[in-house]
Amino acid sequence: MGNYTAPLRDMRFALYELADFKKLAGIPACADLAPELVDSVLDAAGEFCAEVLFPINRSGDEEGCTIENGVVRTPKGFPEAYKQFREGGWTALHCDPAFGGQGLPKVVSLLFEEMICSANISFGMYPGLSHGAYAALHKHGTEELKNRYLPKLVDGTWTGTMCLTEPHCGTDLGLIRTRAVPEADGTYKITGTKIFISAGEHDLAENIIHLVLAKLPDAPAGTRGISLFIVPKFLPTDDGRPGMRNAAVCASIEHKMGIKASSTCVMNFDGAQGWLVGEPHRGLSAMFTMMNEARLSVGIQGLGLAEISYQNAVAYAKDRRQGRALNGATEPDQPADSILVHPDVRRMLLTMRAYIEGCRGLATLVALEQDISQDHPDAATRQEADDFVALMTPIIKAFTSDIGWEATSIGMQVLGGHGYVREWGMEQYVRDAKIAQIYEGTNGVQALDLVGRKLPAHAGRYLRRFFHPVLAWIEANSENEALSEFVLPLSKAFGRLQQCTAEIARAGIANPFEAGAAATDYLRLFGLTALAYVWARSAEVALPKAEQDEFYRAKLATARFYMQKLLPQTGALASTIMAGGSTLRAFEDAAF
C-alpha cells in the first residue's frame, strides 16, 4: 500500500534557487546546459520511478533473491524493470560521452538517485554499484581497460561491484588475505573470499565486473600493500562479448534485515583471472574513488527513504480520524478529526520535513561542488571545490543516513499500529534504512574520519571551505531584521561548532582518545549546523516570495520550525563534547 511522487518542486528549489546552478556554466561540458533540459530529465525520472520501480518494491522485499548452484535470481519484475532502465539510458546519465554517456552533471544524477532510493532502494543497488566501478576505472584504468569495459558499464549491458570486505576484516583493509599472483601474460590469478558484496551475482546483466582488492606476493604489510584488480564474471572476447566463465563464484547470499531484493553475496575467487588497475600497491587510493562516490550515495539512500516515509505518513495523517483537536473540533460534522490536528503528529511530520528538505539542500550543494572539483578548467577552483567535498563527504554519509533511520522510524510511528504491520509498507522503510548507517564505513568510522583526517588536513584548509562562507553570510545579514529569526540561531550554533572544533583540536593533540570520544557528537553538531546554514539561506530566498506563493510560505514555516525545535540540540551536543572523554576511559574493560 502507499504511493510515491517525486518531490520535483523542492528538488528544483534546491538546484536552481539554493545552489548556484549557474556555476556549472564554468565547466565546458555544461556550458550550454539549460534548466529546461534538466527539468525534462527529472520529470521523466520521477515518472519512471513512480510507475516502474515503486510497484515492485514491496513484492521484491517479500520475495527476496534466491540462489541455486551459484546462480542468483532477483525477484519477479526486476529483470524487466532493469531492461527498461537500461534501454531508457538511465545507466548513462552521469557518464563520459566518450564511452557512450550522456555527460549530465553529478548534481542531476544525485537527484535521480534520491528518487530511485525512495521508489525501490534494493533495485537501485544494482546500477549504483556499477557506477562506482565505472568511476574507479574511468579515473585509474589504462586506455585498454577503459575501452574494453566502460562502454558496457555505461550502457548497462554489464554491471559492476566493489569487493573489499573479507570475513575477518572490514574497516581495517590492511588485514586482507586475498592474493594476486602475476602470470606470464601480464594477468593475475586472484584467490580469496569476499563477503557482503552487493550485486555480486544476479540475473539482470550479461556480465558482472568485479573490482577486487588483493595483495601481490611482494606486497608490504598493511594498507600500503593493497592493489586493485578487475575480475570479470565472464572473460570478454576480442569482439566485446562475454566469453569463458571465470573462477569467480557466488557461494551464498546473505539473509538480511532489509534491502532483501538486493543480492548481497559471498564471493569466492579461486585463481580467477584479473587485470591490475592503477599502480601496484596503490589500490586503496584507486578504490577510494569508488568508496567516496558510494558514501555520498549512501547518504542519499537515507534521504530517499525518509522522503517516501514522509509522503505516506502525511497521507495517512490527513485521512485517519481519531479524537478531537485540543482547541475544539475542526470538523464537527465528522465522527472525529484527522490526526493531523494533534500537536505530536504535527511535530513528527514537521521534524521529518525539516530534516528531509535540509538534507536535500545540503546534498545538492555538495554534489554541485563535486562537479566543479572534477571538471572545472581552473585548477584553483577545482581544488577549493574538492576540499569542500572532502570535508562534507563523511557528514553527508553519516548525518543523512542517521536522519533516514530516524525519519523512517518517525513515519512508522505516525501510523501507530498500522505502521508496524507489513501491509502499509512503513516498516520496510525502517528496515531498509538501517544498512545505510553501517556499510561504506559505519557512521562511527565516518565521525573518526571527520575529526582525525578532515579537521587537521592541510592546517585546517578543508574547514575553511565551510566556515568562511557561513561566517560571511552571517556577517552580511547581521543587520537584516527580516532575517534575524534565522541569522541569530545559526550564529549561536556556528559559535558552538567553532568552540568545539578548537577544543577537539587542542585535546586531540595531547590525547587522540579525546578526539575519538567526541567524534560522533561532533559530526552530529556539524550536520545540524550545516542544515541551519541551508535553512537560513532557504529563508532568504523564500522571504520576498512567500506572500504570493504557498510553496515559499511552507519553506519559511519549515525553516522556523527547524531553528526553534531542532537546532537547539546543538547546545546539548556542545556540552557533551566539552565534557571530554574521561568517563569512557575510566570504565574498566572487565565491567562490560
CB neighbourhood size of 107 (10 A): 25
CB neighbourhood size of 223 (10 A): 16
Q: Which three cell numbers stand for residue 167?
A: 570475513
- Which pLDDT band holds residue 382 (cuts at 50, 70, 90)? very high
**Is 90 exceeded by the pLDDT of residue 479?**
yes
Give a yes or no: residue 108 inside a domain: yes
Q: What is the DSSP letter of 252?
A: E
At 337 the three-state DSSP class reads coil
Q: How far apart are CA 143 and CA 220, in angstroms?
A: 28
Residue 567 is part of which domain span? 443-583
Same domain as 150, residue 118: no
Same domain as 201, residue 87: no
The pLDDT score that the predictor gives to residue 80 is: 98
Same domain as 447, residue 579: yes
265 conformational bin, left if phi > 0, alpha if psi -120 to 50, beta if neither: beta
CB neighbourhood size of 462 (10 A): 22
Tracing cell 546483466 back to the chain, one arrives at 205
Give a yes or no: residue 406 inside a domain: no
In 220-317, at which residue ranges do the beta strands (DSSP E only) sit?
A: 226-232, 234-236, 242-245, 248-253, 264-277
Residue in 526, 19, 54, 128 with CA at minimum distance from that of residue 307: 54
Give a yes or no: residue 156 inside a domain: yes
Same domain as 204, residue 130: no
Residue 444 CB burial class (10 angstroms; 0-12, 13-18, ≥19): middle
By percentage, how much of the chain surpasses pLDDT 70? Answer: 100
Q: Which amino acid is at 152?
A: K
Give a yes or no: residue 324 inside a domain: no
Same domain as 490, residue 569: yes
Residue among 440, 503, 514, 540 flagged as catalytic: 440
Give a yes or no: residue 366 inside a domain: no
**Does 481 qualify as catalytic in the annotation?**
no
Rg (Cα) of the chain, in Å, rounded?
A: 24
CA neighbours within 13 Å on the CB side: how many for 421? 6
pLDDT, tens digit, 9 for 90 and up, residues 185-194: 999 999 999 9
pLDDT, tens digit, 9 for 90 and up, residues 396-423: 999 999 999 999 999 999 999 999 999 9
Angle 4-6-7 (CA atoms, 0-180°, nearest 5)? 120
Same domain as 197, residue 103: no
Which of 220, 250, 281 is a domain's end point? 281
- Which pLDDT band holds residue 1 (cuts at 50, 70, 90)? low
Please give the tally of structural domains in the chain.
Answer: 3
Which of 227, 252, 281 is a domain's end point? 281
Q: How far does Cα 384 stand from its chain's mean position?
A: 22
Same domain as 174, residue 119: no
If one compares 517 and 223, the residue with the highest pLDDT of the two is: 517
Q: How far apart are CA 587 and CA 444, in angstroms?
A: 20
Average pLDDT, the chain: 96
- Which pLDDT band holds residue 116 (cuts at 50, 70, 90)? very high
Give a yes or no: residue 405 inside a domain: no
Residue in 296, 480, 462 with CA at minimum distance from that of residue 370: 296
Residue in 148, 266, 261 with CA at minimum distance from that of residue 207: 148
Same domain as 179, residue 159: yes
pLDDT, tens digit, 9 for 90 and up, residues 555-568: 999 999 999 999 99
Same domain as 529, residue 505: yes
- Which pLDDT band holds residue 170 (cuts at 50, 70, 90)? confident
Which of 136, 154, 169 is a domain's end point? 136
The pLDDT score that the predictor gives to residue 286 is: 80
Same domain as 129, residue 156: no
Give a yes or no: residue 35 inside a domain: yes
The pLDDT score that the predictor gives to residue 172 is: 78
**Is 80 exceeded by the pLDDT of residue 342?**
yes
The pLDDT score that the predictor gives to residue 291 is: 78
The pLDDT score that the predictor gives to residue 13 is: 98
Q: Which three cell numbers stand for residue 395?
A: 557528514
Residue 311 CB burial class (10 angstroms; 0-12, 13-18, ≥19): buried
Same domain as 160, residue 79: no
Burial call 528-543: b when 16+ CB within 10 Å, e when fewer: bbbbbbbbbbbbbbbb
Same domain as 157, residue 128: no
The pLDDT score that the predictor gives to residue 224 is: 87
The pLDDT score that the predictor gives to residue 32 is: 92
The pLDDT score that the predictor gives to residue 2 is: 85
Are the beta carbons of 542 and 331 closer than 8 angstroms? no
Q: What is the pTM of this model?
A: 0.96
Give a yes or no: residue 489 inside a domain: yes
Q: What is the CATH classification number for the domain harbouring 23? A: 1.10.540.10
Q: How far apart are CA 530 and CA 528, in angstroms?
A: 5
What average pLDDT score do residues 326-354 get?
96
Helices (H), 425-549: 426-434, 443-449, 461-476, 484-510, 512-542
Residue in 115, 8, 9, 10 with CA at minimum distance from that of residue 54: 115
